[in-house]
């Protein structure tokens, strides 16, 4: 079953594909898995990094953190946000695909 967070990520990626000339975005997965032999734990991705990352047509990095319901950024997500902003990238927390697309359009015109 797909949860609302996953649905939001997919909707943003779909809607952003309609403005492909402004950005190149992809889902950024992080997590933990077991090896095929079930003997090792494998961590992947950067904990705290945005759900969607990519590049704007200007060459600037963009991070989009997706939140549903009353969810808030974790401490590690806030640290990642500050790291991106400190390096002149763009970062946004959104709750709808419309918010994400509007942010992309605005940042791509700067």
Q: Do the Cβ atoms of 32 and 63 come closer than 8 Å?
A: no
pLDDT tops 70 at residue 2:
no
Mean pLDDT of the chain: 95
Q: Do the Cβ atoms of 23 and 56 come closer than 8 Å?
A: yes
Strand pairing class (90-94; 23-27):
unpaired
Q: What is the pTM of this model?
A: 0.92
Q: What does the radius of gyration of the chain's CA atoms come to, in whole angstroms?
A: 15
With vertex at residue 66, the alpha carbon angle to CA 51 and CA 15, rounded to the nearest 5 degrees, is 90
Q: Where are the domains of the chain?
A: 4-108
Give the mean model confidence (pLDDT) for residues 92-109.
96
What does the pLDDT look like over 15-60, one tens digit per residue?
A: 999 999 999 999 999 999 999 999 999 999 999 999 999 999 999 9
Domain covering 4-108 assigned CATH 3.40.1350.10 in the classification: yes
What does the pLDDT look like over 43-54, one tens digit per residue?
A: 999 999 999 999
Kindly give, in sequence order, each residue whose CB lies less than 8 Å from that of residue 61, ignoring residues fewer than 6 positions away. Answer: 53, 54, 55, 84, 87, 89, 90
């Amino acid at each position: 079953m797909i949860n609302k967070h996953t649905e939001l990520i997919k909707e943003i990626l779909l809607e952003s594909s309609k403005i492909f000339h402004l950005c190149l975005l992809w889902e950024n997965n992080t997590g933990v898995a077991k090896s095929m032999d079930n003997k090792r734990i494998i961590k992947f991705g950067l904990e705290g990094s945005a759900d969607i990352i990519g590049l704007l047509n200007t060459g600037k990095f963009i991070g989009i953190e997706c939140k549903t319901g009353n969810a808030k950024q974790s401490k590690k997500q806030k640290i990642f946000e500050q790291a991106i902003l400190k390096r002149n990238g763009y970062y946004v927390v959104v709750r709808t695909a419309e918010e994400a697309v509007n942010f992309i359009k605005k940042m791509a015109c700067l």
